[in-house]
Protein backbone atom coordinates (compact mmCIF):
# COMPACT_ATOMS: atom_id res chain seq x y z
CA UNK A 1 0.00 0.00 0.00
CA UNK A 2 2.85 2.41 0.86
CA UNK A 3 4.41 1.93 -2.57
CA UNK A 4 1.07 2.63 -4.20
CA UNK A 5 0.68 5.86 -2.21
CA UNK A 6 4.12 7.23 -3.05
CA UNK A 7 3.57 6.46 -6.73
CA UNK A 8 0.49 8.71 -6.81
CA UNK A 9 0.61 12.17 -8.32
CA UNK A 10 -0.17 15.31 -6.32
CA UNK A 11 -3.55 15.49 -8.06
CA UNK A 12 -4.33 11.86 -7.16
CA UNK A 13 -3.27 12.39 -3.54
CA UNK A 14 -5.46 15.49 -3.27
CA UNK A 15 -8.49 13.59 -4.58
CA UNK A 16 -7.85 10.55 -2.37
CA UNK A 17 -7.63 12.68 0.78
CA UNK A 18 -10.55 14.92 -0.14
CA UNK A 19 -12.78 11.85 -0.65
CA UNK A 20 -11.33 10.31 2.54
CA UNK A 21 -10.03 7.21 0.76
CA UNK A 22 -6.69 8.10 2.35
CA UNK A 23 -5.86 10.08 5.45
CA UNK A 24 -3.06 12.62 5.57
CA UNK A 25 -1.37 10.48 8.22
CA UNK A 26 -1.42 7.42 5.95
CA UNK A 27 0.13 9.45 3.16
CA UNK A 28 2.78 10.93 5.46
CA UNK A 29 3.65 7.52 6.93
CA UNK A 30 4.03 6.06 3.44
CA UNK A 31 6.50 8.77 2.45
CA UNK A 32 8.48 8.48 5.69
CA UNK A 33 8.71 4.73 5.11
CA UNK A 34 9.91 5.35 1.55
CA UNK A 35 12.52 7.75 2.92
CA UNK A 36 13.88 5.07 5.24
CA UNK A 37 14.12 2.60 2.38
CA UNK A 38 15.71 4.87 -0.25
CA UNK A 39 17.52 7.69 1.49
CA UNK A 40 20.74 5.83 2.33
CA UNK A 41 21.25 5.30 -1.41
CA UNK A 42 19.93 8.60 -2.77
CA UNK A 43 21.02 11.18 -0.13
CA UNK A 44 18.39 13.68 -1.23
CA UNK A 45 17.70 15.18 2.21
CA UNK A 46 19.89 17.20 4.55
CA UNK A 47 17.29 17.03 7.31
CA UNK A 48 14.08 15.02 7.67
CA UNK A 49 11.34 16.59 9.79
CA UNK A 50 9.48 13.38 10.66
CA UNK A 51 7.82 14.56 13.89
CA UNK A 52 6.74 17.89 12.41
CA UNK A 53 5.36 16.12 9.33
CA UNK A 54 3.24 13.73 11.40
CA UNK A 55 1.94 16.61 13.52
CA UNK A 56 0.96 18.54 10.40
CA UNK A 57 -0.73 15.47 8.89
CA UNK A 58 -2.63 14.78 12.12
CA UNK A 59 -3.90 18.37 12.21
CA UNK A 60 -5.14 18.10 8.62
CA UNK A 61 -7.03 14.89 9.40
CA UNK A 62 -8.64 16.42 12.50
CA UNK A 63 -9.77 19.50 10.58
CA UNK A 64 -11.12 17.39 7.72
CA UNK A 65 -13.00 15.14 10.16
CA UNK A 66 -14.61 18.19 11.76
CA UNK A 67 -16.01 19.23 8.39
CA UNK A 68 -13.70 22.22 7.98
CA UNK A 69 -13.05 23.32 4.38
CA UNK A 70 -9.39 22.79 3.55
CA UNK A 71 -7.10 24.18 0.82
CA UNK A 72 -6.25 22.11 -2.25
CA UNK A 73 -2.82 20.90 -1.10
CA UNK A 74 -3.84 20.01 2.47
CA UNK A 75 -1.94 16.90 3.55
CA UNK A 76 0.26 16.67 0.45
CA UNK A 77 3.90 15.97 1.49
CA UNK A 78 6.74 17.94 -0.08
CA UNK A 79 10.44 18.72 0.33
CA UNK A 80 12.10 22.13 0.23
CA UNK A 81 15.52 23.07 -1.14
CA UNK A 82 17.81 24.06 1.71
CA UNK A 83 18.30 27.67 0.57
CA UNK A 84 14.64 28.53 1.24
CA UNK A 85 14.13 29.76 4.81
CA UNK A 86 11.95 27.59 7.06
CA UNK A 87 10.96 28.91 10.48
CA UNK A 88 12.57 26.79 13.19
CA UNK A 89 14.04 24.28 10.71
CA UNK A 90 17.72 24.44 9.82
CA UNK A 91 18.52 26.16 6.53
CA UNK A 92 22.18 25.55 5.70
CA UNK A 93 22.47 26.20 1.94
CA UNK A 94 24.54 22.97 2.09
CA UNK A 95 27.42 25.07 3.45
CA UNK A 96 29.63 24.96 6.51
CA UNK A 97 29.04 28.72 6.65
CA UNK A 98 25.39 28.17 7.67
CA UNK A 99 25.74 24.69 9.14
CA UNK A 100 23.76 25.53 12.31
CA UNK A 101 21.55 28.39 11.09
CA UNK A 102 17.92 28.19 12.27
CA UNK A 103 15.83 30.85 10.50
CA UNK A 104 13.63 33.08 12.69
CA UNK A 105 11.03 33.45 9.91
CA UNK A 106 9.58 31.71 6.86
CA UNK A 107 10.21 32.53 3.23
CA UNK A 108 7.10 33.81 1.47
CA UNK A 109 6.74 30.55 -0.49
CA UNK A 110 6.75 28.69 2.82
CA UNK A 111 4.04 30.98 4.18
CA UNK A 112 1.98 30.19 1.08
CA UNK A 113 2.52 26.42 1.34
CA UNK A 114 1.81 26.44 5.07
CA UNK A 115 -1.39 28.31 4.26
CA UNK A 116 -2.22 25.41 1.95
CA UNK A 117 -1.61 23.03 4.92
CA UNK A 118 1.03 20.98 3.08
CA UNK A 119 3.21 18.55 5.02
CA UNK A 120 6.94 19.36 5.26
CA UNK A 121 9.05 16.20 4.95
CA UNK A 122 12.39 18.03 5.23
CA UNK A 123 15.09 20.14 3.61
CA UNK A 124 16.82 18.96 0.45
CA UNK A 125 20.47 18.77 -0.53
CA UNK A 126 21.96 21.16 -3.08
CA UNK A 127 25.23 22.56 -4.37
CA UNK A 128 26.61 24.96 -1.78
CA UNK A 129 24.80 28.30 -2.05
CA UNK A 130 23.26 26.96 -5.28
CA UNK A 131 26.60 27.14 -7.09
CA UNK A 132 27.03 24.01 -9.18
CA UNK A 133 25.42 21.68 -11.68
CA UNK A 134 25.79 18.27 -10.03
CA UNK A 135 25.07 18.51 -6.26
CA UNK A 136 28.64 17.38 -5.67
CA UNK A 137 29.51 20.76 -4.12
CA UNK A 138 27.47 20.23 -0.95
CA UNK A 139 29.48 20.46 2.29
CA UNK A 140 27.52 17.54 3.76
CA UNK A 141 26.98 14.79 1.16
CA UNK A 142 26.74 13.91 -2.52
CA UNK A 143 23.26 13.19 -3.83
CA UNK A 144 22.84 10.26 -6.24
CA UNK A 145 20.52 10.05 -9.23
CA UNK A 146 17.70 7.57 -8.44
CA UNK A 147 17.66 6.51 -12.10
CA UNK A 148 21.30 5.34 -11.84
CA UNK A 149 23.02 5.68 -8.48
CA UNK A 150 26.48 6.14 -10.00
CA UNK A 151 25.29 9.29 -11.83
CA UNK A 152 24.81 12.86 -10.66
CA UNK A 153 21.24 14.12 -10.23
CA UNK A 154 22.15 17.51 -11.69
CA UNK A 155 22.26 20.72 -9.75
CA UNK A 156 22.00 22.88 -7.90
CA UNK A 157 18.50 21.58 -7.03
CA UNK A 158 19.71 17.99 -7.28
CA UNK A 159 18.23 16.97 -3.95
CA UNK A 160 14.84 18.32 -5.00
CA UNK A 161 14.82 16.43 -8.32
CA UNK A 162 16.16 13.23 -6.73
CA UNK A 163 13.54 13.28 -3.96
CA UNK A 164 10.70 13.52 -6.48
CA UNK A 165 12.21 10.88 -8.79
CA UNK A 166 12.80 8.48 -5.87
CA UNK A 167 9.23 9.01 -4.61
CA UNK A 168 10.62 10.52 -1.43
CA UNK A 169 8.39 13.59 -1.90
CA UNK A 170 5.19 14.20 -3.84
CA UNK A 171 6.70 17.49 -5.00
CA UNK A 172 9.65 19.71 -4.18
CA UNK A 173 10.65 23.34 -4.46
CA UNK A 174 13.96 24.33 -6.03
CA UNK A 175 15.59 27.52 -7.20
CA UNK A 176 16.80 28.26 -10.71
CA UNK A 177 19.59 30.78 -11.38
CA UNK A 178 20.93 29.34 -14.64
CA UNK A 179 19.10 26.04 -15.01
CA UNK A 180 19.18 24.71 -11.44
CA UNK A 181 15.59 23.43 -11.59
CA UNK A 182 15.45 22.40 -15.24
CA UNK A 183 18.77 20.54 -15.56
CA UNK A 184 18.29 18.25 -12.52
CA UNK A 185 14.69 17.68 -13.61
CA UNK A 186 16.05 16.53 -16.99
CA UNK A 187 18.74 14.31 -15.44
CA UNK A 188 16.26 12.64 -13.05
CA UNK A 189 13.35 12.36 -15.48
CA UNK A 190 10.88 14.67 -13.71
CA UNK A 191 9.18 17.97 -14.56
CA UNK A 192 10.70 21.32 -13.54
CA UNK A 193 9.31 24.82 -14.04
CA UNK A 194 11.40 27.99 -13.99
CA UNK A 195 8.75 30.74 -13.83
CA UNK A 196 8.98 34.23 -15.31
CA UNK A 197 11.25 36.42 -13.18
CA UNK A 198 9.10 38.11 -10.55
CA UNK A 199 6.25 35.57 -10.62
CA UNK A 200 7.29 33.85 -7.37
CA UNK A 201 8.57 35.86 -4.41
CA UNK A 202 12.27 35.60 -3.63
CA UNK A 203 11.77 36.85 -0.06
CA UNK A 204 13.42 34.28 2.17
CA UNK A 205 15.45 32.69 -0.63
CA UNK A 206 19.14 32.97 0.23
CA UNK A 207 20.38 34.97 -2.74
CA UNK A 208 22.94 33.70 -5.24
CA UNK A 209 22.38 36.14 -8.12
CA UNK A 210 19.44 38.43 -7.39
CA UNK A 211 18.59 39.37 -10.98
CA UNK A 212 18.50 35.71 -12.07
CA UNK A 213 17.14 33.62 -9.16
CA UNK A 214 13.63 32.18 -9.27
CA UNK A 215 11.89 29.59 -7.08
CA UNK A 216 9.88 26.93 -8.90
CA UNK A 217 8.35 23.45 -8.50
CA UNK A 218 9.67 19.98 -9.36
CA UNK A 219 6.98 17.35 -9.83
CA UNK A 220 6.22 13.99 -11.46
CA UNK A 221 4.04 15.41 -14.21
CA UNK A 222 2.99 18.65 -15.87
CA UNK A 223 -0.42 19.00 -14.20
CA UNK A 224 1.17 18.68 -10.75
CA UNK A 225 3.61 21.45 -11.65
CA UNK A 226 0.70 23.74 -12.49
CA UNK A 227 -0.97 22.90 -9.16
CA UNK A 228 2.14 23.79 -7.16
CA UNK A 229 2.75 27.01 -9.10
CA UNK A 230 -0.85 27.97 -8.29
CA UNK A 231 0.09 27.75 -4.62
CA UNK A 232 3.35 29.72 -4.64
CA UNK A 233 2.89 32.41 -7.32
CA UNK A 234 1.74 35.95 -6.58
CA UNK A 235 2.83 39.49 -5.75
CA UNK A 236 4.76 39.99 -2.51
CA UNK A 237 5.28 43.50 -1.11
CA UNK A 238 8.35 42.19 0.76
CA UNK A 239 10.13 41.49 -2.57
CA UNK A 240 10.89 44.58 -4.66
CA UNK A 241 11.31 42.43 -7.78
CA UNK A 242 7.92 40.73 -7.36
CA UNK A 243 5.53 41.56 -10.19
CA UNK A 244 2.15 43.05 -9.30
CA UNK A 245 -0.03 40.87 -11.49
CA UNK A 246 -3.12 38.70 -11.08
CA UNK A 247 -2.25 35.02 -10.74
CA UNK A 248 -4.16 32.81 -13.18
CA UNK A 249 -5.22 29.26 -12.47
CA UNK A 250 -2.40 27.49 -14.29
CA UNK A 251 -4.47 24.32 -14.70
CA UNK A 252 -7.20 26.04 -16.73
CA UNK A 253 -7.04 25.19 -20.42
CA UNK A 254 -4.17 22.78 -19.87
CA UNK A 255 -5.84 20.13 -22.02
CA UNK A 256 -6.63 22.30 -25.05
CA UNK A 257 -3.84 20.83 -27.18
CA UNK A 258 -1.32 22.54 -29.45
CA UNK A 259 -3.13 22.69 -32.79
CA UNK A 260 -2.24 25.97 -34.47
CA UNK A 261 0.73 26.79 -32.24
CA UNK A 262 4.03 27.80 -33.81
CA UNK A 263 7.10 26.14 -32.30
CA UNK A 264 10.62 27.49 -32.91
CA UNK A 265 13.75 25.30 -32.97
CA UNK A 266 16.90 27.44 -32.45
CA UNK A 267 19.59 26.21 -34.82
CA UNK A 268 22.35 27.05 -32.29
CA UNK A 269 20.93 24.51 -29.82
CA UNK A 270 21.50 21.56 -32.14
CA UNK A 271 25.10 22.28 -33.14
CA UNK A 272 28.42 21.73 -31.42
CA UNK A 273 28.81 19.68 -28.24
CA UNK A 274 25.48 17.92 -28.00
CA UNK A 275 25.13 14.17 -27.62
CA UNK A 276 23.49 12.57 -30.69
CA UNK A 277 20.90 10.80 -28.52
CA UNK A 278 19.88 14.07 -26.87
CA UNK A 279 19.61 15.82 -30.22
CA UNK A 280 17.51 13.04 -31.72
CA UNK A 281 15.17 12.85 -28.70
CA UNK A 282 14.38 16.57 -28.86
CA UNK A 283 13.97 16.54 -32.63
CA UNK A 284 11.66 13.55 -32.22
CA UNK A 285 9.61 15.64 -29.80
CA UNK A 286 9.44 18.36 -32.46
CA UNK A 287 8.04 15.82 -34.92
CA UNK A 288 5.51 14.76 -32.31
CA UNK A 289 4.34 18.37 -32.02
CA UNK A 290 3.85 18.47 -35.78
CA UNK A 291 1.67 15.35 -35.57
CA UNK A 292 -0.33 17.06 -32.82
CA UNK A 293 -1.09 19.98 -35.12
CA UNK A 294 1.63 22.51 -34.31
CA UNK A 295 3.90 24.15 -36.88
CA UNK A 296 7.64 23.69 -36.22
CA UNK A 297 10.24 26.00 -37.77
CA UNK A 298 14.00 26.30 -37.41
CA UNK A 299 15.11 29.78 -36.33
CA UNK A 300 18.38 31.62 -35.81
CA UNK A 301 19.28 33.07 -32.40
CA UNK A 302 22.92 34.21 -32.69
CA UNK A 303 23.12 35.83 -29.25
CA UNK A 304 22.66 32.44 -27.55
CA UNK A 305 26.29 31.62 -28.33
CA UNK A 306 27.44 34.47 -26.07
CA UNK A 307 24.97 33.92 -23.23
CA UNK A 308 27.05 31.44 -21.22
CA UNK A 309 30.12 33.63 -20.56
CA UNK A 310 27.84 36.61 -19.93
CA UNK A 311 25.87 34.57 -17.40
CA UNK A 312 28.95 33.52 -15.44
CA UNK A 313 30.22 37.11 -15.26
CA UNK A 314 26.84 38.50 -14.13
CA UNK A 315 26.00 35.71 -11.70
CA UNK A 316 29.47 35.67 -10.14
CA UNK A 317 29.47 39.45 -9.78
CA UNK A 318 26.11 39.35 -7.99
CA UNK A 319 27.24 36.40 -5.87
CA UNK A 320 30.36 38.24 -4.71
CA UNK A 321 28.11 41.06 -3.52
CA UNK A 322 25.40 38.88 -1.96
CA UNK A 323 27.83 36.64 -0.09
CA UNK A 324 29.76 39.55 1.41
CA UNK A 325 27.32 39.43 4.34
CA UNK A 326 28.77 36.11 5.50
CA UNK A 327 31.73 37.53 7.40
CA UNK A 328 31.79 35.71 10.74
CA UNK A 329 30.40 38.71 12.61
CA UNK A 330 26.59 38.70 12.55
CA UNK A 331 25.63 35.06 11.90
CA UNK A 332 27.01 31.94 10.31
CA UNK A 333 30.38 30.28 10.78
CA UNK A 334 32.95 32.17 12.86
CA UNK A 335 36.61 31.13 13.00
CA UNK A 336 37.96 30.77 16.53
CA UNK A 337 41.07 32.28 18.08
CA UNK A 338 41.30 35.32 15.77
CA UNK A 339 43.28 38.28 17.08
CA UNK A 340 42.14 40.99 14.65
CA UNK A 341 39.01 41.83 12.66
CA UNK A 342 40.89 41.26 9.40
CA UNK A 343 41.94 37.79 10.55
CA UNK A 344 38.34 37.03 11.56
CA UNK A 345 37.08 37.96 8.08
CA UNK A 346 39.77 36.02 6.25
CA UNK A 347 39.61 32.83 8.28
CA UNK A 348 35.82 32.72 8.64
CA UNK A 349 35.28 33.05 4.90
CA UNK A 350 38.21 30.79 3.97
CA UNK A 351 37.07 28.03 6.31
CA UNK A 352 33.31 28.52 5.85
CA UNK A 353 33.08 28.53 2.04
CA UNK A 354 33.84 25.59 -0.25
CA UNK A 355 36.05 25.69 -3.39
CA UNK A 356 33.30 26.39 -5.93
CA UNK A 357 31.85 29.27 -3.92
CA UNK A 358 35.32 30.78 -3.50
CA UNK A 359 35.96 30.44 -7.22
CA UNK A 360 32.82 32.36 -8.11
CA UNK A 361 33.34 35.04 -5.48
CA UNK A 362 36.85 35.67 -6.81
CA UNK A 363 35.63 35.74 -10.43
CA UNK A 364 32.84 38.16 -9.54
CA UNK A 365 35.04 40.44 -7.49
CA UNK A 366 37.53 40.59 -10.34
CA UNK A 367 34.80 41.43 -12.87
CA UNK A 368 33.59 44.30 -10.68
CA UNK A 369 37.03 45.67 -9.84
CA UNK A 370 38.33 49.02 -11.03
CA UNK A 371 39.68 48.80 -14.56
CA UNK A 372 37.79 45.60 -15.42
CA UNK A 373 34.15 46.62 -14.82
CA UNK A 374 33.63 47.98 -18.35
CA UNK A 375 35.52 45.13 -20.01
CA UNK A 376 33.58 42.35 -18.29
CA UNK A 377 30.49 43.25 -16.27
CA UNK A 378 29.25 46.03 -18.53
CA UNK A 379 29.92 43.92 -21.62
CA UNK A 380 28.03 40.99 -20.08
CA UNK A 381 25.02 43.24 -19.46
CA UNK A 382 25.13 44.33 -23.09
CA UNK A 383 25.07 40.68 -24.15
CA UNK A 384 22.10 40.21 -21.84
CA UNK A 385 20.24 42.86 -23.82
CA UNK A 386 21.06 41.08 -27.08
CA UNK A 387 19.75 37.77 -25.70
CA UNK A 388 16.52 39.44 -24.61
CA UNK A 389 16.13 40.96 -28.08
CA UNK A 390 16.67 37.56 -29.72
CA UNK A 391 13.88 36.05 -27.63
CA UNK A 392 11.62 39.04 -28.31
CA UNK A 393 12.19 38.73 -32.06
CA UNK A 394 11.38 35.01 -32.08
CA UNK A 395 8.23 35.47 -29.99
CA UNK A 396 6.90 37.99 -32.48
CA UNK A 397 6.17 35.08 -34.82
CA UNK A 398 6.29 31.97 -32.61
CA UNK A 399 4.44 30.85 -29.50
CA UNK A 400 6.99 28.48 -27.97
CA UNK A 401 10.70 27.69 -28.32
CA UNK A 402 11.74 24.03 -28.06
CA UNK A 403 15.32 23.12 -27.13
CA UNK A 404 17.36 20.56 -25.19
CA UNK A 405 17.85 21.18 -21.47
CA UNK A 406 21.44 19.91 -21.38
CA UNK A 407 23.88 18.70 -24.04
CA UNK A 408 24.22 15.29 -22.32
CA UNK A 409 22.32 12.99 -20.02
CA UNK A 410 23.43 12.51 -16.39
CA UNK A 411 27.17 11.87 -16.16
CA UNK A 412 29.02 9.76 -13.62
CA UNK A 413 29.70 11.13 -10.16
CA UNK A 414 33.23 12.55 -9.98
CA UNK A 415 33.78 12.63 -13.74
CA UNK A 416 33.74 16.43 -14.02
CA UNK A 417 34.76 17.65 -10.57
CA UNK A 418 38.27 18.56 -11.76
CA UNK A 419 37.06 20.32 -14.91
CA UNK A 420 34.97 23.33 -13.91
CA UNK A 421 34.76 24.68 -17.46
CA UNK A 422 33.32 21.43 -18.77
CA UNK A 423 30.66 21.51 -16.07
CA UNK A 424 29.89 25.18 -16.83
CA UNK A 425 29.37 24.32 -20.52
CA UNK A 426 26.58 21.98 -19.48
CA UNK A 427 24.46 25.06 -18.73
CA UNK A 428 24.65 26.36 -22.28
CA UNK A 429 20.97 25.78 -23.11
CA UNK A 430 19.48 26.89 -19.80
CA UNK A 431 21.25 30.14 -18.85
CA UNK A 432 19.79 32.27 -21.70
CA UNK A 433 16.34 31.81 -20.15
CA UNK A 434 17.46 33.34 -16.84
CA UNK A 435 19.32 36.15 -18.57
CA UNK A 436 16.11 37.08 -20.41
CA UNK A 437 13.82 36.46 -17.41
CA UNK A 438 11.39 34.32 -19.42
CA UNK A 439 9.69 31.09 -18.26
CA UNK A 440 10.76 27.58 -19.24
CA UNK A 441 9.37 24.12 -18.57
CA UNK A 442 11.68 21.08 -18.45
CA UNK A 443 10.24 17.62 -19.00
CA UNK A 444 11.33 14.15 -20.15
CA UNK A 445 11.25 13.41 -23.88
CA UNK A 446 13.11 10.11 -24.18
CA UNK A 447 16.06 8.04 -23.00
CA UNK A 448 19.61 7.36 -24.09
CA UNK A 449 21.10 3.92 -24.71
CA UNK A 450 21.75 3.49 -20.97
CA UNK A 451 18.13 4.21 -20.09
CA UNK A 452 18.94 7.66 -18.68
CA UNK A 453 16.32 10.38 -19.19
CA UNK A 454 16.67 13.06 -21.87
CA UNK A 455 15.07 16.41 -21.08
CA UNK A 456 13.57 19.02 -23.38
CA UNK A 457 12.56 22.54 -22.44
CA UNK A 458 9.67 24.64 -23.66
CA UNK A 459 10.42 28.38 -23.45
CA UNK A 460 7.78 31.10 -23.68
CA UNK A 461 7.36 34.85 -23.63
CA UNK A 462 7.06 36.48 -20.18
CA UNK A 463 4.08 35.23 -18.15
CA UNK A 464 3.17 32.55 -20.70
CA UNK A 465 3.32 29.72 -18.14
CA UNK A 466 -0.28 28.63 -18.96
CA UNK A 467 0.71 28.13 -22.60
CA UNK A 468 3.87 26.21 -21.63
CA UNK A 469 1.83 23.92 -19.39
CA UNK A 470 -0.65 23.41 -22.23
CA UNK A 471 2.14 22.50 -24.67
CA UNK A 472 3.90 20.29 -22.12
CA UNK A 473 0.70 18.50 -21.14
CA UNK A 474 -0.17 17.77 -24.78
CA UNK A 475 3.22 16.13 -25.34
CA UNK A 476 3.07 14.24 -22.04
CA UNK A 477 -0.38 12.83 -22.80
CA UNK A 478 0.63 11.80 -26.33
CA UNK A 479 3.61 9.96 -24.89
CA UNK A 480 1.38 8.10 -22.41
CA UNK A 481 -1.06 7.17 -25.15
CA UNK A 482 1.78 5.83 -27.27
CA UNK A 483 3.01 3.45 -24.57
CA UNK A 484 1.55 -0.06 -24.18
CA UNK A 485 -0.61 -0.54 -21.11
Q: What's the CA angle centered on 409, arms 403 and 413, to 5 degrees?
A: 145
Q: Whole-angstrom distance between the N-terminal and C-terminal Cα of the chain? A: 21
Q: Report how far apart, in Å, the C-alpha atoms of 192 and of each of 50, 295, 308, 400, 472 are.
A: 26, 24, 21, 17, 11
- Measure the CA–CA gap between 217 and 392, rounded to whole angstroms: 25
Q: Has 180 been annotated as catalytic?
A: yes
- In this structure, are residues 59 and 68 in contact, taking their beta carbons and an 8 Å threshold? no
Burial 379-414 (b: 16+ CB within 10 A, else e): bbeebbebbbebbeebbeebbbbbbbbbbbbbbebe
419 phi/psi in degrees, rounded to 5: -135, 80
Q: Has 156 been annotated as catalytic?
A: yes
Q: Which of 156, 316, 320, 403 is an active site residue? A: 156
User: According to DSSP H, which parts of 270-407 are helical?
Assistant: 276-291, 307-322, 341-352, 355-368, 379-395
Q: Which of 81, 112, 123, 194 is an active site residue? A: 81
**Up-side HSE of residue 133: CA atoms within 13 Å toward CB?**
31
- In this structure, are residues 34 and 6 in contact, taking their beta carbons and an 8 Å threshold? yes
Question: What does the longest C-alpha to C-alpha distance in the chain come to?
Answer: 71
- In this structure, are residues 361 and 316 in contact, taking their beta carbons and an 8 Å threshold? yes
R_g (Cα) of the chain, nearest Å: 21
Q: Which of 133, 157, 180, 320 is an active site residue? A: 180
- Measure the CA–CA gap between 101 and 104, rounded to whole angstroms: 9
Beta strands per DSSP E along 85-177: 119-124, 171-176
Q: Has 81 been annotated as catalytic?
A: yes
- Measure the CA–CA gap between 94 and 133, rounded to whole angstroms: 14
- Measure the CA–CA gap between 110 and 133, rounded to whole angstroms: 25
Q: Is-cis flag, bond preceding 131, omega within 30?
A: no
Query: Which uninterrupted H or E stretch holds 440?
Result: strand 440-447
Phi-psi region of 4 (alpha: psi -120 to 50; beta: other; left: phi over 0): alpha
201 phi/psi in degrees, rounded to 5: -60, 140
Q: Return the active site residues.
A: 81, 156, 180
Amino acid sequence: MCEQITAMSVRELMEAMQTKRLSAREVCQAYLKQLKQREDDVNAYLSVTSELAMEQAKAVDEQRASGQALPALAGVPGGIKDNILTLGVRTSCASKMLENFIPPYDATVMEKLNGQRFVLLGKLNMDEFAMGSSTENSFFKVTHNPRALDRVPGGSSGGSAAAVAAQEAAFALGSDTGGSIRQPAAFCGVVGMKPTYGTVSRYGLVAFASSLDQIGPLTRDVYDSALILNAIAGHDPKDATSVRRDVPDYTLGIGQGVRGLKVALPRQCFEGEIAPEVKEAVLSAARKYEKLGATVEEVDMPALEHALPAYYVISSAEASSNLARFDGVRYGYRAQGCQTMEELYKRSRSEGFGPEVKRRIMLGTFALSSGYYDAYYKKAQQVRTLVMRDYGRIFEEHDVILSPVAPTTAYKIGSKTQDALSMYRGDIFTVPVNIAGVPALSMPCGQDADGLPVGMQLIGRPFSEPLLYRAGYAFEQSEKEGKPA
